[in-house]
Amino acid sequence: MTTALIGFAILLGLCFFGFRVGFATLVVGFVGFALERGWFASLAMVAQQVTEDAQNYNLSVIPLFILMGVFIYRSDISADLYDAAYAALGRFKGGLALATVLACGGFSAVCGSTLATAATMSKVAMPQMKAHNYSDRLAAGTIAAGGTLGIMIPPSVPLVIYGIIAEQDIGLLFIAGILPGIMLMLLFLLAVVVMVRIDPGASPDAADLDVKRKRKAIRGTTPVLALFVIVLGGIYGGVFTPTEASGIGASGAAVIALLRGHLRTLAEWRFCLVDAAMTTAKIFIVLFGAVVFTQFINLSGMPYDLLDTVDEWSLNGGQLVIFICIIALLMGMVFESIGIIVLLVPVFLPALYATEVDMIWFGIIVVLVTEIGLITPPIGMNVFVVKSVLPQVRLGDIFHGVVFYIAALGIGLIAVYLFPQIATFLPSLAR
């Protein structure tokens, strides 16, 4: 285990000095494996692992869902989603913030990207809230936190990667994320209510939308909601596999964009395809690097040393999950969500199987923990995305604004831990 711990220490050091997680894991894994088995063996291992994973049919779901999100983003649906949410909640105190949470949930449901949701809603929601004199803390904090819904509400790229690593059914993971995703949206809405009660001046009353704008918002969001129902309904009903669903989702999103007046030129198609390809490449680099690093960790014997430690400490499945959550929370202050999943899950897989932990439930737990890390200092990815889009907003105000949402995520995490049925009920019906 000592060798593996040294490898993790070097990996953390490289990341602190600005190395990308994917390249850092690839280098550390390659060198560590070489020192144990030789350079030629390490080269052969890297070539074999990368080739096998690149040919993994299940991974095709990632670029297709990313492409679906890019098409939805290019169709400019976010403004209509925001207006539809505001039409439903605008009459309440803090209505614009409530609408932002709802719009983030809706947009992430078809986009699947946390960072894209945060960046898009920063452009859509912030001008509206500033025009109605909302405080920067409430406005920017709501946008940063609302973006985290993108990795829980399916389709979710982190859930796909977890399913591949843990060898779990991706369709069941998507279905398992529905109820926790809805619960988190409700908790975020409650957080807004609490914040405006504590500080009424942070959210002055706003005027209601005119009838014409409401109708336009409803017309604009109906096709997207229909696409979401078709994709998830098809998976839930066993009509098609997650990979087939991703293809249907990408095709449907392209049709929606065309109907809304976009994707009419080759330049627009090229932009979308290149954007999706670059995002996919970044994810795959992290995934391939983690696979190589995992081979080094397995060679060091760390997973089985941890299994012996679990036996020695007499940890049951629930206690082991708490232990992993603590580590994931600490990692969330440095790594982004995919990095946490690909580094942490393989190490603990033998111990999780030995303690008979429900791996569908555990997948939801892990994603929930990484959601917290996305808005937790010192490196909350979503916070910095909002800051980059809204440079005039102080970073301290954004971190201050997400405090109640971190509490809401914590409550959600505890609820799913104490009541696993929140995550396992729908999958149990689909099995």
- Mind listing the pLDDT tens digit for each residue in 200-229? 888 776 666 667 766 777 777 788 788 888
If you count them, how many residues does the chain have?
431
Which residues touch 92 (CB under 8 Å, ≥6 apart)?
98
Measured distance CA(64)–CA(241) in Å, rounded: 13
358 band by pLDDT with thresholds 50, 70 and 90: very high
Contact 291, 50 (CB under 8 A): yes
> What are the C-alpha distances in Å from 232 to residues 113, 215, 239, 242, 286?
17, 26, 10, 9, 27
Residues 329-358: what's their mean pLDDT?
82
Q: Comparing 154 with 416, which gets the higher pLDDT?
A: 416
386 band by pLDDT with thresholds 50, 70 and 90: confident
Q: From 348, 381, 343, 382, select the one nearest 362 (Cα to Cα).
A: 348
Measured distance CA(291)–CA(18) in Å, rounded: 21
Contact 422, 411 (CB under 8 A): no
pTM above 0.75, yes or no: yes
Which residues touch 361 (CB under 8 Å, ≥6 apart)?
176, 416, 420, 423, 424
CA atoms within 13 A on the CB side of 350: 15
Q: Comparing 173 with 429, which gets the higher pLDDT?
A: 173
Measured distance CA(99)–CA(185) in Å, rounded: 11
Specify the pLDDT at position 49: 84
322 band by pLDDT with thresholds 50, 70 and 90: very high
375 band by pLDDT with thresholds 50, 70 and 90: confident
Residues 122-127: what's their mean pLDDT?
81
Q: From 407, 287, 426, select the one nearest 360 (Cα to Cα).
A: 426
Residues 322-345: what's their mean pLDDT?
81
The pLDDT of residue 415 is above 90: yes
The radius of gyration computed from the CA coordinates of the chain, to the nearest angstrom, equals 22
Residue with tokens 């144990």: 36
Measured distance CA(136)–CA(263) in Å, rounded: 35
Helices (H), 237-336: 242-259, 266-300, 302-313, 317-331
The pLDDT of residue 359 is above 90: yes
Helices (H), 17-38: 21-37
- 155: number of Cβ within 10 Å: 31
Which residues touch 23 (CB under 8 Å, ≥6 apart)?
285, 289
Q: From 268, 347, 244, select the one nearest 302 (Cα to Cα).
A: 347
Residues 145-152: what's their mean pLDDT?
83
The pLDDT of residue 179 is above 70: yes
Specify the pLDDT at position 157: 81
Q: Which two tokens stand for residue 222?
A: 């109906």
